Each structure stands twice: as C-alpha cells, then as structure tokens.
C-alpha cells in the first residue's frame, strides 16, 4: 500500500483532502444561504440535520490530519508559525475590512461590535480568540478559527516536549472531559470577574508575548510561549466560550483524531489503537450530543435538536472517512479546485449573503424557479470572488511567509524534539505542492 501511495502524483495524494474541504465549504455556504433564500425548507432540514456542524467537523478533521504533519515535516516551530500567520491573517483582514468599509452597516455583513467598538473588536479579532473573549467574531464564520488557534497552540506544545505522537491520548482525554466534565464546567465563566475590555487586553498581551516567543528561534522561549498559549487557550475555551464546554472539547478531540488517522496511515500508530481512539471520540460525541443538547440552556448548543447535532457530527466524520477510502483515486477537478479556494469561499459567503438579502428586500423574495436562479447567481459570484481573493490575497500572503521562512537556515535533518526527522512527511504528501497552491 505504501509503495502505491508513494508513486502517486502530489495532486492525486492531496485531492481527497481538497475534495473534503470543498464540499464542507459549499455546504456551510448553502446552509447560511438557506436562512434567506430557502427559509421554510432550511428550517425543516435543520430540525434533523445541522449542515453547519457537518461542514465544520469535516474541516476540523482535515486540519487535524495535516497541520501537525506540517509542523513535524518542517521540524521548525518558527517556520511553522510564520506559515500559519501568513496563511490566515491576510485574507481575514482583507475580507473583514472590505466588508466593514464597503457594505453599509444595515447589511449586517460584520458584527455590530466592529462599528460600535472598532478598537476593541480589532484587538479581539486580532488574537483570533475573540469567540472566547465575550466579543462576537467580526465575520461570524471566524469562530472556527478560534478553535484552530487553540489546536495550533496544543500541537506546538506537544511537539516542543516530544509528545507529538501521543495524539490518541490527547483525543481520548479531551473526549472524556467533554462527556464527564461538560455539564459541570458549563457553570464556569470569567465574565463576572473580568470585564470584556480587561479580558481582551490581557489576552492580547499574552498572545503577543507568546507569539514573539514562538518566533524567537530560542528553544526555551518557544517552549515557554507554547506552554503559556496552550494554557491560555484551554482556560478560555472551557471557561469563557460562547459555545458549550462539551462541544468545545469535542471539537479539539475531533481534530486530534484527524492526527491519529494520519499517524495510522503513516505507520506511526497501530490501526487497532487508531480505531479504538476514533471510536471513543465518536461515542463520546454521540452521547454528549444526545444528552446535553436536550438539557439546560447553559449546556446546549445552538443546534435545533439533539438529533440534528448528532447526525451532522457523524456525517462530518463519514465524509472524511469516505474520502480517505478513496484517497488513491483522482477526485473530480471541480471539487479539488473548490477545496483550493475553500478558505475564500468560507470567509466571503457571509458578506455576499448580506448583499443578496438587501437585493431581495428591494425586488421581493423569489419563489419557485426564481430561487434557483438566485442560487445560481450567488454561486457564480461567490466562486469568482473566491478565485480572485485566492490569487490576489491568499497566494501573495503565502509567498511573503515563505520568503520570511527562507531567511532562517533550514533545521538539520532529525532536528527538533523527539527526532522530528523521522516524522518528516514525504514531499508532496501533506505539504503544499507546489508551494502556495493548497491550503493546509
């Protein structure tokens, strides 16, 4: 099996990941569009299945699969974080600023905090932990990036202490905490003791200091920064998230399961252990989703029903699993292209829906065939804008990040804690081939 995988072109090896991202991004966009265009149908579907949870769970599995591998391939914490920062921030800044400046406030393209408390919102969103600070994300879909950042912190810390191969243990512990501590932790909150401004300012200070440590190139400083940021992220996520603690913990457990699947595929973890780990997380997610989504308001998610959350959670896993089984086959070109521009699709679709809603308010809500025409127009404009921002914003940002990375001498083979050299990913397998052409 390994020999067969090794001779596949890089695009074929990554096509299945792009397909998952493309499908997930499209489903999330259509899910949000249904609130305005297919109102009755969308509400009926959401009683049984939450497309948003489905899409983001698939996204989180993909991130778990490739992000730790990217760090281990480089064997360089500084290079990893430069890559992450220049991957996420340029597009987020451009889309958020453009939506706030170009669209009227009444369109609702950005959260009201961006207009009412511009500096506070800018600082909070700049940390990418805003969803844990009592501040709504400037772009509502940016809440997922909060969990991405906490995951990066944890992955970096595990790498620094040489425990990066213990992904299975991390997943099981997080899933167990979600199941057994979730309801209890729901009563925790930092907000009664700390004002939003104090919490944002303190978090921004710690995040800035932590990132400076990670970018310093000094191993003791990087270890200190990773430890501080990991602790900060976990405390905020459990005690101050807008979401429930059990859902937050399950998101992290799901991401670590993505890493478990990667390790099993690469022969770094036994298949039996990987199956057991994923089974524990699936069982914990299903149980918590059924029990806690029908309980007190403080431990419920925004999902319409327990069935809707669980069915979407399992479907996200199923999508990833089917794509994994088909990884040796070439994916449809349209899906892989959609995966390449999926970050742009994800960030742009909300502002575009705001524009669409204003247009419908002027011309009247479409019915029947007209709804399909509006849907087609929405998708065409979304894909065109996503292609433009990918080429004009995402790729230049990634190229700038690579130039900054190249100023630092490459680490020697086998460098990094725990012998990173032996964990290096084969070129083109989970890294970006060619550079800048695929999103990790």
Kindly state whether residue 439 falls inside one of the protein's structural domains.
no
Kindly state whether residue 363 falls inside one of the protein's structural domains.
yes
Kindly state whether residue 227 falls inside one of the protein's structural domains.
yes
Kindly state whether residue 275 falls inside one of the protein's structural domains.
yes
What pLDDT, in 10s, does the model give residues 223-247?
A: 999 999 999 999 998 888 888 889 9
Rounded Cα distance, 171 and 117, in Å: 38
pLDDT computed for residue 417 by the predictor: 35
pLDDT computed for residue 193 by the predictor: 59
Domain range for 302:
2-423
What pLDDT, in 10s, does the model give residues 345-365?
A: 999 999 999 999 888 877 777
pLDDT level of residue 74 (50, 70, 90 thresholds) = confident
Kindly state whether residue 367 falls inside one of the protein's structural domains.
yes
Kindly state whether residue 244 falls inside one of the protein's structural domains.
yes
Global pTM?
Answer: 0.87
The tally of domains found in the chain comes to 1
pLDDT computed for residue 223 by the predictor: 95
Q: Please, what is the average pLDDT of the chain?
A: 85
Using the predicted structure, report yes or no on whether residue 404 has a pLDDT greater than 50.
yes
What pLDDT, in 10s, does the model give residues 128-185?
A: 999 999 889 999 999 999 999 999 999 999 999 988 888 999 999 999 999 988 777 7
Kindly state whether residue 440 falls inside one of the protein's structural domains.
no
pLDDT computed for residue 94 by the predictor: 97
Give burial (CB, 10 Å; 0-12/13-18/19+) of 98: middle
pLDDT computed for residue 139 by the predictor: 95
What pLDDT, in 10s, does the model give residues 262-289?
A: 999 988 888 999 999 999 999 999 999 9
């Amino acid at each position: 099996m390994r020999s067969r995988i090794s001779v596949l072109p890089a695009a074929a090896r990554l096509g299945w990941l792009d397909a998952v991202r493309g499908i997930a991004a499209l489903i999330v966009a259509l899910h949000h569009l249904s609130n305005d265009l297919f109102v009755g149908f969308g509400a009926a579907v959401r009683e049984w299945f939450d497309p948003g949870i489905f899409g983001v769970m698939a996204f989180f599995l993909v991130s778990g699969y490739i992000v730790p591998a990217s760090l281990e391939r480089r064997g360089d914490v500084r290079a990893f974080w430069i890559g992450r920062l220049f991957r996420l921030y340029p597009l987020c800044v451009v889309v958020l600023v453009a939506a706030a400046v170009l669209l009227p406030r009444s369109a609702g393209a950005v959260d009201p905090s961006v207009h009412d408390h511009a500096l506070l919102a800018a600082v909070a969103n700049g940390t990418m932990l805003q969803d844990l600070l009592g501040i709504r994300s400037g772009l509502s879909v940016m809440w997922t990036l909060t969990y991405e950042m906490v995951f990066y912190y944890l992955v970096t810390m595990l790498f620094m202490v040489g425990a990066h191969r213990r992904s299975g243990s991390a997943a099981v512990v997080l899933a167990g905490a979600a199941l057994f501590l979730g309801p209890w932790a729901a009563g925790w909150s930092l907000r009664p003791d700390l004002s939003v401004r104090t919490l944002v300012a303190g978090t921004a200070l710690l995040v800035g200091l932590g990132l400076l440590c990670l970018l310093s190139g000094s191993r003791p400083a990087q270890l200190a920064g990773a430890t501080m940021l990991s602790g900060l992220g976990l405390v905020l996520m459990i005690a101050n998230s807008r979401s429930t603690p059990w859902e937050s913990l399950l998101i992290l457990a799901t991401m670590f399961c993505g890493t478990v699947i990667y390790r099993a595929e690469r022969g770094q973890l036994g298949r039996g252990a990987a199956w057991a780990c994923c089974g524990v997380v699936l069982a914990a997610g299903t149980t918590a989703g059924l029990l806690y989504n029908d309980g007190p308001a403080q431990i419920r998610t925004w999902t319409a029903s327990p069935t809707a959350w669980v069915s979407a959670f399992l479907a996200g896993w199923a999508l990833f699993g089917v794509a994994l089984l088909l990884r040796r086959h070439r994916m449809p070109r349209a899906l892989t292209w959609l995966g390449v521009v999926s970050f742009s699709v994800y960030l742009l679709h909300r502002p575009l829906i705001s524009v669409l809603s204003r247009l419908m308010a002027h011309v009247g809500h479409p019915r029947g065939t007209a709804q399909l025409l509006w849907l087609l127009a929405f998708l065409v404009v979304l894909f065109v804008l996503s292609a433009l921002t990918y080429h004009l914003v995402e790729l230049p940002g990634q190229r700038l990040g690579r130039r900054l990375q190249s100023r630092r001498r490459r680490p020697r083979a086998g460098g990094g804690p725990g012998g990173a050299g032996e964990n290096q990913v084969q070129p083109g397998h989970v890294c970006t081939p060619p550079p800048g052409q695929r999103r990790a």
